[in-house]
Amino acid sequence: MTQSYFPILIMLILAVVIGATILGLNWVLGRHQRNPSKLSPYESGVPPLDENRKRINVRFYQIAMLFILFDIEAAFLYPWAVIYRDAAQGPSGMFLFGEMAVFIGLLAVGYVYVWKKKAFDWH
């Protein structure tokens, strides 16, 4: 069983050897210049304006989290809707409908809750 993994081992070794060779040649043959534009994150890009580790208002995260939550609700609706059209005639049509009704109902309660808690207000 372990023998079938042997090609993967060879590939791993090759990847390390090739990577090390290219980087090593680069380091040996290339010229070492250390000026500000060489050391910037993108040498020929837009110069950075500010630090990237700034503190961000926690409200951004709250809004983003709620967005993802309700976004995923929509994502769950798609596969359900694709299946439902054919399954509605079958024996478990009512079951599928009930499941989605419960799911949306629960999310609606959550929606009302965060609305009432003023999580959508910026101030």
Partner 1 sequence: MTLHPLIEPGWVNAILPELVLCVGGLLLMLLGAFGARLRGITAPLALIVFIVTAWSEKLVLAGTFFGGTYEISGITRIFDITFLLSAILATLFAREYLEREGIEGGEFYALLMWATVGMMMMAKGLDLLIVILGLELLSICIFVLVGYHRRIPVSNEASLKYFLMGAFATGFILYGTALFYGATRSTNFTEMARAFSTADPNNVLLSIAFVLLMSGLGFKLAAAPFHGWAPDVYQGAPSPIAGWLSVAPKAATLIALVRLLSAMLPMLQFSLWMKMIAALSVLSMVIGNAAAIAQRDLKRMLAYSGIAHVGYMLIALLSLRDDSVAAIAVYTITYALMNIGAFGVVSTLAKNQNDPQTLDDIAGLGFRSPFSGLALTVCMFSLSGLPPTAGFIAKFYIFKTAVDSGHLAIAIVGILTSIVSVYYYLRVVYYLYMKEPAEGYAIVPAGGIFATGALAITMIGIFVIGLFPTPLFAMAGAAARALLP
Binding site for partner 1 (CB under 8 A): 91-92, 94-95, 98, 106, 109, 112-113, 116-117
By beta-carbon proximity to partner 1, the closer residue of 19 and 98 is 98
Tell me the two tokens of residue 35: 């000026």
Shortest Å, Cβ 58 to partner 1: 12
CA distance linking residue 45 with residue 41, whole number of Å: 8
Nearer to partner 1, 48 or 98 (CB): 98
Judged by CB, which is closer to partner 1: 1, or 28? 1
Q: Distance (Å, rounded) from C-alpha 84 to C-alpha 96?
A: 7
Nearest-approach distance from CB 63 to partner 1, in angstroms? 18
Task: Give the nearest distance from C-beta 115 to partner 1 in angstroms.
Answer: 8
Q: Which residues of 7-18 are buried (b: 16+ CB within 10 A; e: fewer)?
A: eeeeeeeeeeee
Selection from 63, 72, 55 nearest residue 118 by Cα: 63
Nearer to partner 1 by C-beta: 1 or 74? 1
